[in-house]
Amino acid sequence: MLSLTEERGIPMRKHIKHAWIAAAAIVALAGGLIVAVGSTDGIQPVTPEEAKELLAAVRLGCDTAAASVSSSAGVVTLHEWNWRANGDLLETETTYTVALKGERYRAAVETKYLTNEWSSANSPGTIQKTILGYDGEKVTRYEPLRGYAAIANLDSGIGRELRNAKILAISPGIGAPTFPEIPPTPDNPDPGSRVLGRQTVNGEDCVVVDTVSTAATAKGTQTMIFRSWIALQKGFSLVKAEGKVRGGMFGEGETLIAQIEAQPRECADDLWGISQVQQEEHMVDDSGRIYLSRRATTDFSKDYAINAPVTEDMLTVTLPSGTKVDNELIDSQYTIP
């Protein structure tokens, strides 16, 4: 049985980049050249002084929101539709039962295949189960249906898989991306983020921020533009984002490759998380045609708790007797007695 990552033909270490728009809603947005991009229709411009003050306020507000969370626990459901260029569909639904406390993290992951036109390995109805955990020192990945476990460090393949699960499943601070100050380089002499102005989105007063990154590719310089709408009165939550690319394999002009809409939810007094995220991603095929490659809906359970008690049992990955273990940390294979 192939794992979902193998099913897509994506090496584990490359899997995270295919969830970039989720990461955009959850983690730091990459900095780059300060440029104005895309249409600014409906965005109310601000003066350079106001833009500087707003960016400082957004940075502080986002950092404060993320730092205000010490623990979280709940169930997250990710429904994904992935298309190949020829239209073949891979549809899955994955639930993450997660717990976080400080650096420690655990996720019980269950994926059900709903449609699979990509291969015959996992027919509709197939279920895969994995338990991932990090205890502050090592990562454990346990497959209960196989009776197999792997133990490694955070820089390993299973460490990257754990971080990807954490990106998809951790609500606090998710809605508050960060906009770090990026030091200049010869390629990016004036890096950073820029406030374009303000705009009302779904009744919320938002600050609109552009962050741009550039990279050299085999087909020339490629520029990726992230535009974020940050709701000031909802814990500096991200409520909308767009990703556009120009240059490289995408050619001249700007191509919309990703969109996200997020619904913030107040989990406690002035403590905000997310109730739902909707995403779409596009790719380019060999002929240069842009096609819809991924659609996803992520729902956080109503009882998803932030800064609530998280017990030791909720964070621990227990390997039952008979489990075969591949421990990379000590270069040893053994069976749990």
Q: What is the pLDDT of residues 147-201, one digit of tens each?
A: 999 999 999 999 999 888 887 655 444 456 777 777 777 666 656 789 999 999 9
Report d(CA 132, CA 83) in Å as an integer: 27
Report angle CA 268, 271, 276 to the nearest 5 degrees. 90
Residues 225-245 pLDDT 10s: 899 999 999 989 999 999 999
pLDDT at residue 4, rounded to an integer: 55
Torsion of CA 55, 61, 67, 72, to 10 degrees: -120
pLDDT of 298 over the 50 cut: yes
**Over residues 74-89, mean pLDDT:** 96
Neighbours of 67 (CB within 10 A): 11
* Average pLDDT along the chain: 84
More confident residue, 248 or 187: 248
**Over residues 241-252, mean pLDDT:** 88
pLDDT above 70 as % of the chain? 84
Cβ atoms 188, 214 nearer than 8 A: yes
Domains of the chain: 4-335 (2.50.20.10)
Q: By C-alpha distance, which of 320, 326, 324 is closest to 335?
A: 324
Residue pointed to by tokens 């730092």 = 67
pLDDT at residue 170, rounded to an integer: 59
Among 31-40, 76-85, 93-102, 289-298, the range scoring the smallest mean pLDDT is 31-40
Report d(CA 83, CA 148) in Å as an integer: 31
β-strand pairing of 148-152 with 324-327: parallel
pLDDT of 26 over the 80 cut: no
pLDDT of 332 over the 80 cut: yes
Residue pointed to by tokens 């120009």 = 246
Report d(CA 107, CA 74) in Å as an integer: 10
pLDDT at residue 175, rounded to an integer: 53
In order, the DSSP letters of 170-196 are --TTTT----PPPPP-SS-SSEEEEEE
Report d(CA 121, CA 92) in Å as an integer: 14
Q: What amino acid occupies position 36? A: A
pLDDT at residue 67, rounded to an integer: 84
pLDDT of 139 over the 80 cut: yes
Residues 274-283 pLDDT 10s: 899 999 999 9
For the chain, the first-to-last Cα distance in angstroms comes to 26
Among 78-87, 117-126, 210-219, the range scoring the smallest mean pLDDT is 210-219
Residue pointed to by tokens 């490359």 = 14
Among 46-50, 92-96, 163-167, the range scoring the smallest mean pLDDT is 163-167
pLDDT at residue 189, rounded to an integer: 60
Token code pair at residue 140? 């454990």
pLDDT of 290 over the 60 cut: yes
Report d(CA 32, CA 335) in Å as an integer: 49
pLDDT at residue 213, rounded to an integer: 80
Q: What amino acid occupies position 196? A: L
pLDDT of 20 over the 60 cut: no
